[in-house]
Chain A
Amino acid sequence: MTRKERRLLVLGASMTALGLATALVLLAFRDNLVFFYSPTELVEMQVPEGRRVRIGGLVEERSVERRGDTVVFRVTDTATTTPVTYIGILPDLFREGQGVVIEGALQQDGTFRAASVLAKHDESYMPREVADALKKQGYWQPGERK
C-alpha cells in the first residue's frame, strides 16, 4: 500500500466517523435541545403544552406549599409568575426569594410540572439565565450579592 493510498484510507475513515457523528448530533439535537424561557416569555411565546423546556426566576416569597409528596410554589421574574408543581426532594439551596432553574413541561391547567429543580451549590451565585431574565425586568443589578 502506498503512502497516497494510506492517506486516502485514513481520510475516508475520518470522513465516515465525522459523518456518523454529525448524523448522531443532528438527530440528538432535534430531540434533546431544551430551550430556556422566563415566566414572561413562557406566556408571550405561547410555548405548547408538554414541550420540555427550562424556566427560571425567583421563588416567590410565601408561595411554597407542601401537599403530601408534592411541593407547589410559584416562580416569578417580577412581571409574570408561573405556578409550579414538583414531586421529590428540593435542592438544599432552594429557598423563597432565591433564583432557581426548573426543567419540565406546561400542563393543560397552566401549571408547570417540574421534572427537576436546580439550585446552585453556591448561594452567592445567581444562575446566569435567571440573572438575565430578571435584568430584562429591570430588577437585578450585576454585582449585587445575595
Chain B
Amino acid sequence: MIAELGHYALILALVVALVQGTLPLIGAQRRTPAWIAVARPAAILQAGLIGIAFLALTHAFVTSDFSVVNVAENSHSAKPMLYKISGVWGNHEGSMVLWVLILALYGLAVALFGRNLPPSLRARVLAVQALIAVGFLLFIILTSNPFERLSPAPLDGRGLNPLLQDPGLAFHPPMLYFGYVGFSMAFAFAIAALIEGRVDAAWARWVRPWTLAAWCFLTAGIALGSWWAYYELGWGGWWFWDPVENASFMPWLAGTALLHSAIVCEKRDTLKSWTILLAILTFSLSLLGTFLVRSGVLTSVHAFATDPERGVFILAFLVLVTGGALALFAVRAPGLAGGGLFAPISREGALVLNNLLLTVGCATVFLGTLYPLFLEIAGGGKVSVGGPYFNATFIPLMVPLVAFVPVGSMLPWKRGDLAGVLARLRFAGGVAGATALAVLALVEGTSLLAAGGVLLAAWLAAGVLTELAGRVQLLRVDAAESWRRLVRLPRASVGMSLAHLGVAVFVAGVTGSVAWHTEKVQTMRVGETVEVAGYQFTLDGVSEHRGPNYTATSGQFTVTRQGAPVTRLRPEKRIYPAENMPTTEAAIHSTAMRDLYAVLGDPAEDGAWTTRLYVNPLIAWIWFGCFMMVGGGLLSLSDRRHRVGAPVRQAVRAGVLGPAKA
C-alpha cells in the first residue's frame, strides 16, 4: 500500500512539474503576475510529493518488503540497518529517485530563500528546474519504476553488492548527486538569464553561492569515492582514470572554471556569455556523467547495474537539454553586451587563463574518456585509453595552472604589474626552491619529476601564505594587530586561501604517493617476514571468523621497523553468503607521513598465502587536501556577503539589454 502511495506521489509530482515548467514561463513572458506566482507553491508541492515517494521507498527497504521488486533484488533481511537505508540509492531505480529528490530540494531552496530574487527571474529559474524534473520523472516512471511489485514475494532478497556495504560508499552517491544536481541551479539561472536577455553583476551574485555549494558537494563526493576505492578495492591506488571516475571529474573541472569566471562576472561585470556557456556545459557534463554511469556504454571496472536501453533515454534527454540550451545561447548571447575592459596582466586576465586551462584540461579528459566510443562507432575497432594517456595530457596542463595561482591571486583587478607581484613572491619562490632541493638531497630515490612536484606544492603553499601575510600586514604591524586583521578578513577570501592551500596539500600528496610508493606481491608462509621500504611485515597467522552477514578469513601481520613494533594489521577476505560474493578488506595503518597497506590474497599450495604489501608515503594528504578545499568552499559560502547586500538589481543600466521584449 505504501509503495503504491509512493508511485502515485511520483506521478502527481510529474503533473505538478509539468505545470511548474510551463505556466510561470508563459506568465513571465506575458507579465501575468498570477501565472508567475504559480512557480513558488508548485516547487514546494513538488518537493513534498517527491519527498513522499522517497520516504515510501525507504520504508519498503527498512521493513524489507520483498514484494517490491527493487527491494527483493537489492536488499536482504540480514543486512545492517545503515545498509538497508543506503540500499535505497545503491541501485539504479532508487538512485534516480534520489536524483529528482535532490533536484526538488534545490527548487525548494530557491522557493523558500529566493525572496530577494525578482519574481520573474525566480519563476523562470523554477520553471527550468521543473522541466529538468519532468525529464527525469518521465524516465523513472516509464523505464525504471522503483515501486514495481513482485508476486509471489520471495522469502528473502538477493542482497546489496557487498562492496557497497561500506560507510564511505553509503554517503558517496548522495554527495555526488548533490554536486551534479547542484549545477542544475547554475544551469537554470543561465537559461532564465538568456530568456530575459539580461546578465549583470546581481545575477552573478545569485548564481555564485549555488555553484559554490554544488562544487563543495561534488568535491567531497569525488574524494569520498576515491577514498573508498583506495581502502575497499585493495588495489592500493586512489584514482584509476576509469570512465566512471572521469564522469564525475569532468563536471568538477568545468564547475571549478565556472566558480572562477562567476567571480569576474560579479566583480567586474564582464565575461558574461562565457560564464553562461560554462554553466550550460557544466550541467551538460553532469548529465553526461549520469548517462555514462547508468548506460554502461563504456567499459568501467566500477560499473554497477547498467542497462543500455535506459542509457538511450538519458542520451536523448542530454541531447535535448544541451542542444536546446546551446541553441538558445546562440540566439541570445550576441545580445549580451560586453562589460568592463581589462589588461591581459590583471586579475581578470589570470582568471581567464585559469578558465582556459581548466576547460582545455576538461576537454582532454572528455576526449580520452569518449574516444573509445567514437572509434567504435566509426568502426575503428575496440580500444581503451588508460592512465598513461591522461597523465601525459592532463598533468602538463594542470602544472601551469597550479603554478600561476599565487601570481593570479595577487594581481589587482583591471591592470596589474607582473614584475611587482613576482618581486613580492621572491621569498615564496626561495622557500619552494629550498624545499625541493632539500627533498632531492635528503630523501632517497627522489627523481627530478618528484622534486618538481614538491617544488610546485611548496610554491603554491608559500605563495598563498605570502598573499595572506600581505593582507594582514604580517611583521609590518605587531602580531596582535595582524591577528585582528586576520579575524576581520572577509570569510570568502580566507576560504579562497584555505582552498588553494588544500590544492597544495593535494599536489604534495599525489607527488609523494606516486614517487615513493613501494609495492610487493609474494607468497608468504605463516611466520615469514617480508621487508617493504624499511618496514618488516611478519605473517603471524591466518584465522577464520564470522561477521553479521559474512564469514571472513583474516591474516595477522605484525609490522616492525628497526626492531621496534609499529602496528598489527588484519586484512580480511570475506564471503557474503547471501550474495555469494567475496570481497577483500585491506588493512591500513595510516599516519600523516605514510600508510601501511596489507592485502590477503588466495591460498597458494602447502599453506602459503598470496599477500600484497604497500607502503604509500603522504597518501593521506590527498584526502586531507580535498577536505581543505571543501572547508574553504564552505567557509566562503558562510560569508554573509553571499547572502545579503548586493542582490538588489540596479535599474536598467547602460549597455545591458532591457527586459525581454515580449
B483: min CB distance to chain A, Å: 41
> When A36-B381, A69-B523 are in contact, do A13 and B388 touch as well, CB less than 8 Å?
no
**Dominant SS among interface residues on chain B:** mixed
CA–CA, A122 and B90, complex, Å: 12
- In B351-405, which residues have CB < 8 Å from any A CB? 352-353, 356-357, 360-361, 363-364, 367-368, 371, 381-386, 388-389, 392-393, 396-397
The number of residues on chain A lying at the interface, defined by a beta carbon within 8 Å of a beta carbon of chain B, is 47
Q: Determine the chain A residues whose CB is within 8 A of the CB of B163 once the complex forms.
A: 121
CA–CA, A121 and B303, complex, Å: 7
Scan A15-51; emit 1 where CB is below 8 A from any B CB, else 0: 0011011001101110111111100000000000000
**Dominant SS among interface residues on chain A:** mixed
Q: Are B303 and A122 in contact (CB under 8 A)?
A: yes
Q: Are A35 and B388 in contact (CB under 8 A)?
A: no
B584 at the interface (CB under 8 A from A): yes
Q: Are B352 and A32 in contact (CB under 8 A)?
A: no
Q: Are B360 and A122 in contact (CB under 8 A)?
A: no
B338 at the interface (CB under 8 A from A): yes
Q: Determine the chain B residues whose CB is within 8 A of the CB of A128 once the complex forms.
A: 296-297, 299
A79 at the interface (CB under 8 A from B): no
Scan B569-604; emit 1 where CB is below 8 A from any A CB, else 0: 000010000010111100000000000000101101
Q: Determine the chain A residues whose CB is within 8 A of the CB of B344 once the complex forms.
A: 1, 6, 9
Q: Are A6 and B342 in contact (CB under 8 A)?
A: yes
CA–CA, A10 and B264, complex, Å: 15
A66 at the interface (CB under 8 A from B): yes
Scan A131-146; emit 1 where CB is below 8 A from any B CB, else 0: 0100000000000000
B301 at the interface (CB under 8 A from A): yes
CA–CA, A125 and B298, complex, Å: 13
B198 at the interface (CB under 8 A from A): no
Q: Are B383 and A35 in contact (CB under 8 A)?
A: yes
B605 at the interface (CB under 8 A from A): yes
Q: Are B521 and A25 in contact (CB under 8 A)?
A: no
B304 at the interface (CB under 8 A from A): yes
CA–CA, A121 and B610, complex, Å: 21
Q: Are A36 and B383 in contact (CB under 8 A)?
A: yes
> When A32-B385, A87-B521 are in contact, do A122 and B397 touch as well, CB less than 8 Å?
no
B633: min CB distance to chain A, Å: 26
CA–CA, A68 and B609, complex, Å: 10
B612 at the interface (CB under 8 A from A): yes
B522 at the interface (CB under 8 A from A): yes
- Given A21-B393, A89-B610: 20 more A-B contacts, CB < 8 Å: A1-B343, A21-B361, A24-B392, A24-B396, A25-B364, A35-B381, A35-B382, A37-B382, A66-B604, A68-B604, A69-B522, A89-B612, A93-B581, A93-B582, A121-B303, A121-B304, A122-B304, A123-B581, A125-B303, A125-B304
Where the two chains meet, the residues of B that have a C-beta atom closer than 8 Å to any C-beta of A are 161, 163, 234, 296-297, 299, 301-306, 338, 341-344, 352-353, 356-357, 360-361, 363-364, 367-368, 371, 381-386, 388-389, 392-393, 396-397, 521-523, 573, 579, 581-584, 599, 601-602, 604-605, 610, 612
List, sorted by A's number, 9 A–B pairs whose CB atoms are closer than 8 Å: A10-B352, A21-B363, A29-B389, A32-B386, A34-B383, A92-B573, A121-B303, A121-B304, A125-B296
Where the two chains meet, the residues of A that have a C-beta atom closer than 8 Å to any C-beta of B are 1-3, 6, 9-10, 13-14, 17-18, 20-21, 24-25, 27-29, 31-37, 54, 66, 68-69, 87-90, 92-93, 101, 103, 118, 120-125, 127-129, 132
